A and B are shown apart, each in its own frame.
Chain A
């Protein structure tokens, strides 16, 4: 029994305040819940949160130059931005180059500066190679070695690289660079690639999502309305692709769609296209779209199906009996109720498509490559920071979409199963 004390708080029968008793009871339940999820939590932290954190860190951190050129770094620290390099600066640089040569770290240092100012890597590695020959006066020695050493832009780039933390990788990822005077400008038109790639990736993913939706909707509806035995059989057919290796599936598409492939041969045999008019459906954007649609289709079908399964046929019947045609019934009654499934499926397919890598790599040819293929390319080249910055931007884009979705549809309207 609970009682009310003089100050109006409820207490339990043994006189403890009700709130405290409730908190104590809930604490035990919460602690148990925590222990139950602890393994998963640990797994997610180790395998997901830490790597993402590390990636984000790398996208703004590169100490290739900062760690290997301590003397120049010290000179930059005491001389403000815009100071012309004096003899002391060149002396510090010579000191650092000697150390780099001894440690064989000129390459990594050069790479870092190169990010900020292209074509400086070779300047730095070449200079380091002859560092032992440098003698005072250093300024003249450097200029004799290569007149570029007098270029303010080079010094600006080194100043920027002497800080381990930098936004340069994000500048590169958005096709921008620092001018000699430190202002940010767009790179020359013919070298702009990343913005275009991001736009292309998001557009292609949107196209794939839309195609998946139109293909999946009728199938999911059929699945949800067929008698169980036949629905199960169909479900197996839908899931069949999951049991086949992605590579096998992609290869089969190549066999079907390539220039000398089955589809083209059939079209020619039927006289629909001539031998010189073979359709190009492989190694281009079309190939990427076709194969990725196939690969991602189940991710649209399953959430749609699980939502449709819960919509009793009596709603449609009620609408019909109230005088609605079958089209009105579909549009006003059925479709709105499948929205959570559409949202979940579209989000799932879109996010998977945005990050998809292997299919475009295999069938995309030159113009079917997506941003993830470039991320992979930079990882191959050990340009970790640039790959990380591109990934972070991709992640940011997806999060923005997610936020938009939440604003427009509501995340609690999402139904995955």
Chain B
């Protein structure tokens, strides 16, 4: 799913601001349109306002300013229980005094649904997460992953159009988390629901989402599909936050047609793509992904600048090699190469030349 215009969007945040204490804004100016059936992830460091946004959408916090609409209807004045939004909490929030079946039955009961309908829906929802056998257990008798599934089933059992998930997998171990990521994604696709998902695990965000909104400091820094986010970060925060990247400081020597030549602080010249810098002499931060750096002489891009480097450390990682270099006076330049047949292992102390295709190096704001 690509950009959604705010007219056919399902959820719209329109100039939403939020302050808890009246002195500082936690959400500064949020504009976001989420399409029907979209899987949108809010990703960002701790304290960046993700949960706050979700709580405003669910109705547990009120927006200090601005408007949130759901399916074309402004919902600022609608109480939480009338919004019909399913929600999965980080700690699951399964009611401890009820069995699994009663937990799932609860949203149907408060909607006044008859007993037989309820039982059918509960069964369907539990089957969906393969947990029907546990219908009579209490939440405390379930493992973390099982509780997670029940929480998911409970959020889905009353057929909400929109489901919010606040770090739902945060408490699970890596393997289970990956498995649940797959299941949530699968449910999203088969049910056609809209999901707003909060995480600060970027791997999770990249693998699951249609689009990711990167939050920092109460603002969306970039809203884009995962591949764009990784390959074409808009600013240095996103470049630094998503994946590993090498940073080189310098000034713009020349800009023409999006192509920039940057003089590093140590004097070398390198090639890059100008992203949000444009004037000559402006200082910039060039960001390059470790796996896009080339060092074999025959593969260095023709016509582009190369730069001297010294190998400091070589780490064998199985499928990958990870090499730390000294480049332009800094000791933390990293390159990654795949362990393919004939790939050379670099030795510490070795002097090499490295280079990259200009479109892989992005000249960003120096921040």
Residue B87, interface by CB 8 Å: yes
| Chain B proximity of A280: nearest CB distance (Å) | 45
User: A333: which B residues are within 8 A, CB to CB?
Assistant: 95
Is B276 located at the chain interface by the 8 A CB criterion?
A: no
B314 on interface, CB distance cutoff 8 Å: no
In the complex, what distance in Å separates the CA atom of A328 from the CA atom of B80?
A: 13
Smallest beta-carbon distance B52→chain A, Å: 14
The 9 A-B residue pairs whose C-beta atoms are closest, nearest first, are A322-B107, A318-B93, A321-B87, A314-B93, A320-B80, A324-B110, A336-B97, A323-B110, A314-B89
Residues of A within 8 A of B81 (CB): 320-326
Contacts of B110 on A, CB cut-off 8 Å? 322-325, 328
Interface size counted on chain A using CB atoms at 8 A:
18
A312-B93, A322-B110, A323-B84 given; A317·B60 CB < 8 A? yes
Instruction: Check if B344 is an interface residue, CB within 8 A of chain A.
Output: no
How many chain B residues touch A (CB < 8 A): the figure is 27
CB neighbours of A377 from chain B (8 A):
none
CB of B60 within 8 A of CB of A323, answer no
Could you list 26 A-B pairs, sorted by A, with CB under 8 Å? A314-B93, A315-B93, A315-B95, A317-B89, A317-B93, A318-B95, A319-B106, A320-B79, A321-B58, A321-B81, A321-B155, A321-B164, A322-B110, A322-B154, A322-B155, A322-B158, A323-B84, A324-B106, A325-B110, A326-B81, A328-B110, A332-B106, A333-B95, A336-B97, A337-B95, A337-B97
Contacts of B107 in A (CB 8 A): 322-324
Shortest Cβ distance from residue B68 to the other chain A in the assembled complex, whole angstroms: 15
- Within B107-144, the residues touching A (CB, 8 Å) are 107, 110-111
**Is B97's CB under 8 angstroms from A314's CB?**
no
With most chain B CB atoms within 10 A of its CB, the pick from A317, A319, A321, A328 is A321
Interface string of B227-268 (1 = CB under 8 A from A): 000000000000000000000000000000000000000000
Is the CB of B168 closer than 8 A to any CB of chain A?
Answer: no
Extra inter-chain contacts (14) besides given A322-B106, A337-B95, CB under 8 Å? A312-B93, A314-B91, A314-B93, A317-B93, A321-B59, A321-B85, A321-B155, A321-B164, A322-B86, A322-B107, A322-B154, A322-B158, A323-B158, A332-B106
In the bound complex, residues from chain A placing their C-beta under 8 Å from that of B86 are: 321-322
Interface residues in chain A, defined as those with a beta carbon under 8 Å from any beta carbon in chain B: 312, 314-315, 317-326, 328, 332-333, 336-337
Task: Select from chain B the residue with minimum beta-carbon distance to A311.
Answer: B96
Cα-based distance from A322 to B84 in the complex (angstroms): 7
A325-B80 Cα distance, complex, nearest whole Å: 9
Is B158 a contact partner of A337 (Cβ separation < 8 A)?
no
Q: Is the interface of B mostly helix, strand, loop or mixed?
A: loop
Q: Which residues of chain B are within 8 angstroms of A332 by Cβ–Cβ distance?
A: 106
Within the complex, what minimum Cβ distance (angstroms) separates A158 from chain B? 62
- Taking CB as reference atom, which chain B residue is nearest A337? B97
Give Cα distance in the complex from A319 to B58, angstroms: 12
User: Which of chain B's residues has its CB closest to A317's CB?
Assistant: B60
Choose among A318, A319, A324 the residue with the greatest number of B CB atoms under 10 Å from its CB.
Answer: A318
Contacts of A323 in B (CB 8 A): 81-82, 84, 107, 110-111, 158
Q: How far is the CA of A315 from the CA of B96 in the complex (A)?
A: 9
- A314 to B93: give the CA distance in the assembly, Å: 6
Q: How far does the alpha carbon of A57 sit from the alpha carbon of B100 in the complex, in Å?
A: 53
| Residues in chain A near residue B158, CB distance under 8 A | 322-323
How far apart sit A320 and B86, CA to CA, in the bound complex (Å)?
Answer: 10
Given A320-B60, A321-B85, A323-B81, are A337 and B91 also a contact pair (CB < 8 Å)? no
For the complex, what is the distance from the CA of A6 to the CA of B290, rounded to whole Å? 62
Roughly how many angstroms separate A84 CA and B86 CA in the complex, as a whole number?
90
How distant is the Cα of A337 from the Cα of B158 in the complex, in angstroms? 24
Contact indicator per residue, chain B 61-104, by CB within 8 Å of chain A (1) or not (0): 00000000000000000011111111101010111110000000
- Residue from A320, A325, A328, A337 whose CB has the most chain B CB atoms within 10 Å: A320
Q: Which of A312, A315, A328 has the most CB of B within 10 A?
A: A315
Q: How far is the CA of A319 from the CA of B86 in the complex (A)?
A: 10
Q: Which of A321, A322, A325, A332 has the most CB of B within 10 A?
A: A322
Q: Which residues of the partner chain A approach B83 to less than 8 Å between Cβ atoms?
A: 321
* B85 A337 Cβ-Cβ under 8 A: no
Contacts of B59 in A (CB 8 A): 320-321
Q: How far apart are the CA atoms of A157 and B83 in the complex, in Å? A: 80
A313 to chain B, nearest CB (A): 9
A191 to chain B, nearest CB (A): 51
Chain B: CB-nearest residue to A322: B107
Q: In the complex, A318→B111 CA distance in Å?
A: 15
Alpha-carbon gap, A321 to B86, bound state (A): 6
Residue of B nearest to A329 (CB): B81
Contacts of A319 in B (CB 8 A): 95, 106
A166 to B137, CA, bound (A): 55
Smallest distance from the beta carbon of A109 to chain B beta carbons, Å? 62
A322 vs B108: C-alpha distance in the bound complex, in angstroms?
8
Across-interface contacts of A326 in B (CB, < 8 A) = 81
Interface string of B147-191 (1 = CB under 8 A from A): 000000011001000001000000000000000000000000000
Task: Give the chain A neighbours of B84 by CB distance below 8 A.
Answer: 323
A281 CB to nearest B CB, Å = 41
Measured between alpha carbons, how far is A167 from B33 in the docked complex, in Å? 84
Which A residue sits closest to B151, measured CB to CB? A318
Find chain A residues with CB under 8 A from B95 CB.
315, 318-319, 333, 337
Contact residues in A for B91 (Cβ distance below 8 Å): 312, 314
Minimum distance in angstroms from A326 CB to a CB of chain B: 8
B90 nearest CB neighbor, chain A only: A314
- Nearest CB of A to B131, in Å: 18
A320 contacts across to B, CB distance below 8 A: 59-60, 79-81
C-alpha spacing A325/B83, complex, angstroms: 12
**Interchain CB contact under 8 A, A318 and B87:** yes
Q: Within the complex, what minimum Cβ distance (angstroms) separates A331 from chain B?
A: 11
Q: A323-B110, A324-B110 are in contact. Are A318 and B89 (CB under 8 A)?
A: yes
Q: Which residue of A lies closest to B102 (CB)?
A: A332
The winner among B79, B93, B164 for most chain A CB atoms within 10 A is B93
Residues of B contacting A336 with CB < 8 Å? Answer: 97
Least distance between A401 CB and chain B CB atoms (Å): 24
Q: How far is the CA of A321 from the CA of B158 in the complex (A)?
A: 11
